[in-house]
Amino acid sequence: MKRSRRLRLPALALLAVATLAAAACSSSASSSPSSSGNNSSAALTASAPGITSTTITIGGTTPLTGVAAPGYSLIDPAAAAYFSYVNAHGGVYGRKIVFKYLDDQYNPTMTASVTRQLVLQDNVYGTFLNLGTPTHLAVVNFLNSEKIPDIFVASGCECWDNPTTEPETFGWQLDYVREGKILGQYIAQHYKGKKVAYFYQDDEFGMDGVKGLDYEIPASMVVSRQSYADTNTNVAPQVAALKASGAQVVVSFSVPAFTALLKLTSLKLGFNPQLVVSDVGSDAVTLSGLLESFAKQGGATVNGDSLINGIVTDGYLPAYSQTSNSWIQLFNKVQAQYDPSAPKDDGNVEYGMAAAYSFVQAMLAAGRNPTRADLISALNAGIPQGPIVAPYAYSSSDHLGATGAYMGTIENGALVPQGPVLVTDTTPTGAITTYTGTQPQAPASGVPAAP
């Protein structure tokens, strides 16, 4: 008995040695970045980690499962679909883009883990379209200290704009402060003398939005400010307070589920104000579907499209109702061929494809054999306007993306743009002006031209 127990230690040691031997065999050889020639005839080289002569491998984190997955899980597959289209049409200087997106379940611990997997194990060139404010905040420091390009965070938080301390990180979508200002100006101008109330999510998204609204709406107009936590689906107390305040206009910085809850609860309490909703929470297809499914859970039948009729919102990408728009036609074409299972006219799909287009623009600007620093320099130098209706803000001192949006209303289940594109900055006093330029057409090839 005693003897056999002693045998166990040597056996364990042997096992350990075997494991180590196996590990030693799989040790990786790192490729050293070589010279980068950027003239058009230069051979394609492995100019940076994640770049070979034939591929550019990038990574991303996004919720594919879990509470945040409905809607958001469509974004990265749509981006990957656009990359497939580009790859089939010559790629980026001949290289194919490999987009490896991993599920983080919208859990910051998971984000921290899968981001390290992408960077430390898969050796991606950079990360792209990492989704969510709390999730991405968990890895911003890591990505910047490893000097990994952190391109186009899928969140409108102002917090991605720290060019000196976080030079690798760039936003993309219209930030919530600019959006708040644009919505705020519209409210101040169109609902003069009316009582306005705020309904917003109790985090950076809602608070950045409220910041922008307050820059434009006189405090005397605001009769009530109600926030909600996205973990509590009972918004009846907030809606009762909104009703009690006598608000005639309710402006909502909410995610789609809570826009739907706001609408349904208002309906229940016999409260029918004019709704003004942030772009994030107003995607017509998502909203209409949510309203119908929530009502069904409560044992009622509603017509989602008719409930959202007349909601005022804004948009920074062309609307699907503009069927003759060249960008909409391009995205529909790519979707039909490479992402056919995704729902039609869904804002998340458009978002993914448009961001992917912008990424290809940035990669082209970075040169034929780019290092990681080349991509950052290219974005700091600015890239030409693309699918976003306003120019990008990118410069060495500004890492946010879209600078403006148009106002619109939802009619018959679709966003109908109204009025010009408005551009502004994130400062309290920065003017909101009409964009005088014109958005370029989508290229006929569907792939941005090399600079």
Partner 1 sequence: MKAITSSQGLRILGALVLVAVVVLLLSIRLNQFRDYQIAEIATYVTAVAGLTVLTGFSGQVSLGHGAFMAIGAYTTALLLLHLNWPFYLVLVISGAVTAAAGALVGAAAARLHGPYLAGATLLLGVALPAVADAFNGAFGGDQGLNIIYNAPSSFGPNFPLTRWQAWVSTLVALVVLLLLANLARSRVGRNWRAVRDNEVAAALAGVNVAWARILAFIVSAACAGLAGSLLTITTEQAEPGAFTITLSIAILTGAVIGGLGSLTGAIWGSLVVVLVPTFATDVATSHGLSTSVAANIPVVAYGATLILVMLLFPHGIQGGLRWLLGLAGISSARTRRPAPVPEASASPHEFLLVREGNPHGSNKKEDTQ
Exposure string (b/e) for 211-239, b if CB count within 10 Å is 16 or more? Answer: bbbbbbbeeebbbbbbbbebeeeebeebb
Q: What is d(CA 128, CA 76) in angstroms, rounded to the nearest whole number? A: 9
Give the shortest CB-79-to-partner 1 separation in angstroms: 11
Q: Which residues, 6 or more positions from 124, have their beta carbon under 8 angstroms from its beta carbon? A: 49, 50, 57, 58, 59, 100, 118, 148
Give the residue with the Cβ less far from partner 1, 117 or 309.
117
Q: How far apart are CA 191 and CA 188, in angstroms?
A: 6
- Sites of contact with partner 1 (CB under 8 A): 1, 4-5, 7-9, 12-13, 16, 19-20, 23-24, 27-28, 64-65, 69, 73, 76-77, 80, 100, 102-103, 106-109, 112-114, 116-117, 119-121, 133-135, 137-138, 140-142, 145, 159, 202-204, 229, 231, 341
Residues 255, 328, 448, 391: what is their CA dihedral angle, to the nearest 10 degrees?
A: -50
Our CA angle for 314, 260, 209, nearest 5°, is: 40
Q: Which two tokens stand for residue 128?
A: 């792209």
* Amino acid identity at 118: L
Q: Strands 274-277, 169-171: parallel, antiparallel or unpaired by DSSP?
A: unpaired
Segments in 324-404 forming alpha helices (H): 326-338, 347-365, 372-380
Rounded Cα gap, residues 365 and 291, in angstroms: 43
The least CB distance from residue 16 to partner 1, in Å, is 5
- 3-state secondary structure at position 276: strand
* Residue 67, token pair as written in the block: 């509470």
CB of 58 to partner 1, least distance (A): 14
* Of residues 204 and 374, the one with the C-beta less far from partner 1: 204
If the CB atoms of residues 232 and 272 are measured against partner 1, the closer one turns out to be 232
Residue 159 or 407: which CB sits closer to partner 1? 159
The amino acid at 96: K
Please state, in angstroms and rounded to a whole number, the distance separating the CA atoms of residues 297 and 305. 18
DSSP code of 121? I
367, with CB counted inside 10 A (0-12, 13-18, 19+), is: buried
Nearer to partner 1, 173 or 361 (CB): 173
Q: Which is nearer to partner 1, 16 or 300 (CB)?
A: 16
For residue 335, the minimal CB distance to partner 1 (Å) is 14
101/316 with CB nearer partner 1: 101
Taking the complex as a whole, the smallest distance from the CB of residue 7 to partner 1 amounts, in Å, to 7
Minimum distance of partner 1 from residue 262's CB (angstroms)? 19
Q: Specify the residue, 62 or 321, whose C-beta has the smaller distance to partner 1.
A: 62
Residues in contact with 147: Cβ distance below 8 Å, sequence separation at least 6, in sequence order: 168, 372, 373
Rounded to whole angstroms, the Cα distance separating 419 from 279 reads 16
Least separation in angstroms between CB 81 and partner 1:
10
Q: Taking the complex as a whole, how short is the minimal distance between the CB of residue 116 and partner 1, in angstroms?
A: 5
Of residues 106 and 198, the one with the C-beta less far from partner 1 = 106
Q: How far is the CB of 313 from partner 1 (least distance, A)?
A: 24
* Minimum distance of partner 1 from residue 225's CB (angstroms): 15
Of 64 and 410, CB closest to partner 1: 64
